Structure 1
Amino acid sequence: MTAGAGSSAYGDATTLLHPILEAGLTNVGFHAICDPEAALKAQEAGVGNTVRLKLGGKVDPSIGGAPLDVTGEVVTLSSGHFIAYGPIGGGTWRNHGLSALLRIDGVEVVVITNNGQATDLAQFTSLGVDPHRKSTLVVKSMQHFCAAFEPIARNVIEVDTGALSTKNFLARLYKHIRRPIWPLDDI
């Protein structure tokens, strides 16, 4: 399992999904790309049909990667309403808006309309994906994924893709900040 962005990032970064697709990995679950336009195109195509679209990378391609030209099968469509059942917010309703599960070669990508980081297994199961049966799960979350996903992971690899939500504070330009300030400066 790998973990990526969170903390109010756009949710449409493609910098991790792109190399996964390029490598031809299989049996992968990926949560999520926030892309209302792609979710709508998947809905227009319909379950069981193939859709060609530009996925993610629309808010600021310079920070999270450009849109990916993909062709995938629309596996599931959902209103995006589901009940979380894990340790963070278990028993509460969540709403990711119109959502789709796209199978792009061996990767099942969750596409959502309302941005939200991965914190609950139901974000997969509500779309018909059993996260226990995936060889690799990719979840975009800074740390909130841990409670739900670490118990089912053989190994957790944290990935900093350099997108908007990076732990590398020195990678960002700060214009209106008093210096020195930790963690940017040694104090």
Structure 2
Amino acid sequence: EIPLRFGAKSAPGTGNPIDGTVKVVKLVRNAEMQFGESLAPFGDAAHIVLDGIDIILNSTRAQSFDPSLFSVMGIDPTKQKILVIKSTNHFFASFSKIAAEILYCSAGTPYPNNPATTPYRRAPKTIWPIVADPHGIERGAA
């Protein structure tokens, strides 16, 4: 076990780092996860446990594309009651195959998970999701 401070490094306003004594379970150099038929790198990675919670830390900023990111780190994602990932929507196709339910939450910054609230500067304000039916398809327009 080692003392470790992690998190809150991606942008201002992301909260405070987490401090704790963690158990290091597995280290993987140049870890990769599935991304369709390809592999996507997520850098050097560590599987740690803090207060009974399995956590994966990685050195390369990457979306969570596939549950294989857990498998690579020694965690069977199908055996977990809850999986929490930090991803916008890239995860959905793969994780929806193993999840009974998917819940979204907003981390606030640096990017809101609801594009309707994004303060676009150059995009027209008549785009989806700001406008529910921008092309008039639902009212029968062609």
Q: Please say whether Structure 1 and Structure 2 have the same fold, judged by a TM-score greater than 0.5.
A: yes
Letter in 2 for 1:100: A
5+ residue gaps, structure 1: 1-49
Q: Which residue of 2 aligns with 1:52?
A: 3
Q: Which residue of 2 aligns with 1:41?
A: none
Paired residues of 2:33 and 2:66 also in contact (CA < 8 A): no
Q: Identity of counterpart residues, as a percentage?
A: 28
Q: Which residue of 2 aligns with 1:82?
A: 32
The 5-angstrom pairing of residues 1-187 of structure 1 reads 50-62=1-13, 64-82=14-32, 84=34, 88-90=35-37, 92-168=38-114, 177=121, 181-182=125-126
Residues 158 and 168 from structure 1, CA distance in 2 versus in 1: closer, same or farther, beyond 3 angstroms? closer
Letter in 2 for 1:181: K
Give 1:54 shift.
1.4
Question: CA offsets, 1:104-136, max 9 Å, x none?
Answer: 112111100011111112100001000011110
SS at match of 2:83: strand
Give 1:159 shift.
1.0
Q: Which residue of 2 aligns with 1:16?
A: none
Question: CA offsets, 1:32-79, max 9 Å, x none?
Answer: xxxxxxxxxxxxxxxxxx1212111124342x1121112210010001
- Equivalences, count: 131
5+ residue gaps, structure 2: 135-142
Instruction: Report the TM-score when normalising by structure 1.
Output: 0.60
Instruction: Report the TM-score when normalising by structure 2.
Output: 0.77
* Higher RCO structure (Cα 8 Å, ≥6 apart): 1
Question: CA offsets, 1:8-53, max 9 Å, x none?
Answer: xxxxxxxxxxxxxxxxxxxxxxxxxxxxxxxxxxxxxxxxxx1212
